[in-house]
Amino acid sequence: YLKINPLQELHAIQFEMTQPQANRWIHLLSEILRRTLKTLGELPDRNSKRLIHILQGCEEVLLDGTERPIQRPLDEDWQSACYSGKKNS
């Protein structure tokens, strides 16, 4: 749920409950997960300086991410930096 953020209605259908019930469970279980990860020292770190330090000691790094659409920049220089002008097919 936290990675791809699907509709709560989808979870409600999968677990045979209403959307408000799914919402309550998601919030309850998300907090339990957050506290557990914090206790285990596995909570994601959002500090980029610490991340750089940690990554220097790693031989191999695997990244897992989800692409999300963004608004195209209005500034021409910024557009040039972000887009090659080639069409993807």
What is the model's pLDDT at position 87? 65
What is the model's pLDDT at position 2? 76
Per-residue model confidence as pLDDT tens digits over 23-39: 999 999 999 999 999 99
DSSP character at residue 23: H
pLDDT score of 6 more than 80: yes
**Token digits for 25?**
């469970």
Per-residue model confidence as pLDDT tens digits over 63-76: 887 777 888 888 88
Q: Could you tell me if 12 and 18 are in contact, meaning their C-beta atoms sit under 8 angstroms apart?
A: yes
With b for 16 or more beta-carbon neighbours within 10 A and e for fewer, the 39-75 pattern comes to: eeeeeeeeeeeeeeeeeeeeeeeeeeeeeeeeeeeee
Per-residue model confidence as pLDDT tens digits over 38-64: 999 888 878 888 888 888 888 998 888
**Token digits for 70?**
């963004």
